[in-house]
Structure 1
């Protein structure tokens, strides 16, 4: 179901996670009010001051948007955008984004500016375009999903951020510290394209974001723009070799490393060799939750309708 194409007058229902990013919450409120007043655009703000209330506020916004043929806007980081997309997929409403996170991979890959004023200009003037959604056990991911070491890195990152603040340097330092610890790894049966592979790996990463894949140097990052997802698994290795892999990623050369396996697919099933491992911690767009095994990764059968710049416009937001 596609949203109404004449959405330019549709009211905005904005889910604002005040905990995302480092900017002033009041500055964002003022910018939204000024931009919408200038365009005579109606809006409602659903502020999230307590994270446990995020799902409730999202449901309220989506219900209101469906009743009034409106647009649901996620003001926050990739985790907030993911939560809104989970509730929005299949609703018939379009998604708008005001990036407020640390990395903002989803908004940057779709050329949505990180500057609030420019992002509001896109939100109020651009049209909805279908974009690909990934699913793992029916849980949405727009950027990536993972289990093993990468999920642990994301889990530990939140602890470091709570202590030292939300910045890219804190996130990167916490990743190094976590990666240098001992990790038992996973023995997995992985099935895709009619074949089954036995893979031992400390982490399995599935990407749905061309910008992130390009930045770490994976071949064919455009596969996710051609209807596929990309799986990356690291072969078992020592701590120094793992650190070398991290350097390859930082230098955009991860695809050249000998200890990296990768493949593109539309659907993939992952189950543990050890039957006692019935559940796993899985991270989707930075948020970690426990999921039952096996894990089923696939491209969602329907797209998310995202308000984003036309392809011919300059994509400075990717930089």
Structure 2
């Protein structure tokens, strides 16, 4: 199925209705455990089965196969005028969303992660039963995605200290379990370690600027921007832009102080942070020896070759979500 993509303005008002019998093709990452996968299947059978809606659930045990399974399932969804559904955290959702975007079929979400920034930003309930029921009557609305060198991100992309923070967080999660408290504690410990400052050249609107920073963070999530205290930047996302944030070169204690400012929703008050909005930027390294760099996209880490091109998606992703007014009420 290749739906006609409506204009953003008209679709934001009415959304795109789906066929009443459109089947759901669900891809779930089993990284959180077989028990969660079994619980998800039980809810799907109860909620979708009672409504007489067809569905297929594919549970991926090997994370390395997630992208290929998502592409295969997206092709099946298109062939049967169905919807591709991602079940998992933001990283899983991004991988499945990319498959839906490339195939041209609608995308839906069953949040099963720790932070669930993408689903929360669009008013999709974290409760599995509620998000499953939403599939039955939600309309498809266009939402913005970001890309870095062809790799999609729905929430954020970054290089420098932030990918290292995510790698350390995964180590702590394997030891102490998946929770927000473990994630915050691991972040604190990582920021107290020694770290290098990057030298980056950023080409934007025909000019090149050099920055020195521990990390370059590119945001595409209004909720996340609002939570760290950058309301103007959050509003810019609604205007088809991405947000770049880079702390100035400061020591470890100041880094910790900036993080506390962000946690308190006051990052925009700091003079130690540079931020700007854009549709497209190119990031290079002054040293020709720097061939590749670690990039984190929605919590998943990969090595990409320099230069890095960050851009807004050419076409929107069609997402099943509540009507805009309901979505606003559901955000938390």
TM (norm. structure 1) is 0.96
Inter-partner Cα distance in structure 2 for 1:300 and 1:314: 22
Distance 1:240 1:209, change over 3 A: same
Measure the CA separation in 1 of the matches of 2:146 and 2:260.
Answer: 27
1:21–1:102 Cα contact (<8 Å) kept: no
Which 4+ stretches in 1 moved above 4 angstroms? none
Distance in 1 between residues matched to 2:132 and 2:276, nearest whole Å? 37
Cα separation, 1, equivalents of 2:221 and 2:19:
26
- Residues 91 and 137 from structure 1, CA distance in 2 versus in 1: closer, same or farther, beyond 3 angstroms? same
Equivalent in the alignment of 1:134 = 146
Matched, 1:43 2:44: no
| 2:20 aligned counterpart, secondary structure | helix
**After the TM superposition, which residues 222-233 of structure 1 pair with which residues of structure 2 at under 5 Å, given as runs?**
222-233=235-246
Q: Which residue of 2 aligns with 1:148?
A: 160
Q: CA deviation at 1:21?
A: 8.1
RMSD after superposition: 1.6
Provide the C-alpha distance between the structure 1 equivalents of 2:116 and 2:322, rounded to a whole number of angstroms: 16
Shift of 1:58: 1.1
**Partner-residue secondary structure (3-state), 1:9:** coil
1:21–1:77 CA contact under 8 A, matched in 2: no
Structure 2 Cα separation of the partners of residues 238 and 22 of structure 1: 43
Structure 1: how far apart are the matches of 2:78 and 2:106?
10
Aligned pairs for 1:19-34 (under 5 A) are 19-20=31-32, 24-34=36-46
Cα 1:17–1:261 shift into 2, 3 Å: same
Asked whether the equivalents of residues 243 and 275 of structure 2 are also in contact (C-alpha less than 8 Å), the reply is: yes
Unaligned residue ranges in structure 2 (runs of 5+): 5-15
Matches of 1:49 and 1:283 in 2, distance apart?
Answer: 22
Q: After TM superposition, give the deviation of residue 159 of structure 1 in Å.
A: 0.9
Q: What is the aligned counterpart of 1:295 among 294, 308, 312?
A: 308
Please report how far the alpha carbon of residue 55 of structure 1 lies from its aligned counterpart in structure 2 after TM superposition.
2.0
Counterpart contact for 2:75–2:103, Cα < 8 Å: no
Gaps of 5+ in 1: none
Aligned residues: 319
Counterpart position of 1:165: 177
Q: Which residue of 2 aligns with 1:2?
A: 3
Residues 63 and 313 of structure 1: CA distance in aligned 2, closer, same or farther (over 3 Å)? same
Distance apart, 1:50 and its partner CA = 2.2
On the 8 A contact 1:22/1:166 being kept in 2, the answer is no
1:284-312 alpha-carbon deviations (Å, 9 max, x no partner)? 00000000011000001101000000012
Instruction: Select the residue among 207, 217, 221 that pairs with 2:219.
Output: 207
Aligned to 1:56: 68
Partners in 2 of 1:7 and 1:211 — Cα distance?
A: 31
The structure 1 residue matched to 2:272, chosen from 259, 263, 273, is: 259
Shift in Å, 1:66: 1.6
